[in-house]
Amino acid sequence: MQMAPSRSRTSTPRTMHRNLPMLLLRARELMMARFRPLLTAQGLTEQQWRVIRALHENGPLEPRELCALCTISSPSLAGVLARMEDLGHVTKARFEDDQRRVRVSLTAQSAQIVERMAPLLEAEYRALEKQVGAKVVEDLYVAVDALIKELDSDKDAEAP
């Protein structure tokens, strides 16, 4: 009876890089664990908060712009916006010169949510900086901004 050859650790091809997408997802989940309770206390989902924050920072936007800024697919965003409109968080209005286009805006109710959330979010960011260090947080912003910029520029260069 012949036994199958054993595989040693050295015979298995070694991965050259750590799994960066998985690390980024893990970091995202750890970060969201800090912020999710604040959103839940306001009755918001993560997607709803991303939409509110994007509109607060940029003013009224078209759904396609919200998809890009909030990293929400178009079919998902349609449902999110419909629920947000029902809840009084956003309004939608058609462009006068092109009835096919829609502009999404925050309501006064959502602006009040942003006002209530601002000090809570700021406190959570201060707690994060205290835990990991302000330099780590700043370096992370720089690194992630650079990564996004380069990956986006590669995508733009590939477009016809």
pTM, entire model: 0.81
The enclosing domain of 100 has a CATH number of 1.10.10.10
Number of structural domains, the chain?
A: 1
Provide φ and ψ at 73, rounded to 5°: -65, 155
Query: What tokens appear for 20 in the block?
Result: 């960066």
pLDDT tens track for 41-82: 999 999 999 999 999 999 999 999 999 999 999 999 999 999
Distance in angstroms (rounded) separating the CA atoms of residues 45 and 56: 16
Looking at the domain assignment, is residue 90 inside a domain?
yes
> Which structural domain range is residue 151 located in?
41-155
CB atoms within 10 A of CB 128: 16
pLDDT attached to residue 96: 86
Looking at the domain assignment, is residue 147 inside a domain?
yes
Angstrom distances, CA of residue 152 to CA of 12, 18, 39, 54 = 34, 22, 29, 19
Query: What tokens appear for 35 in the block?
Result: 């912020």
**Residues lower than pLDDT 50 in the chain:** none
pLDDT attached to residue 97: 86
Looking at the domain assignment, is residue 53 inside a domain?
yes
Looking at the domain assignment, is residue 46 inside a domain?
yes
Widest CA span of the chain, in angstroms? 82
- What's the burial of 106, exposed, middle or buried (CB within 10 Å: 0-12/13-18/19+)? buried
pLDDT attached to residue 132: 96
pLDDT attached to residue 106: 97
Looking at the domain assignment, is residue 5 inside a domain?
no
CB atoms within 10 A of CB 140: 12
Q: Give yes or no for a contact between 107 and 118, defined as CB atoms under 8 angstroms apart.
A: no
pLDDT attached to residue 3: 56
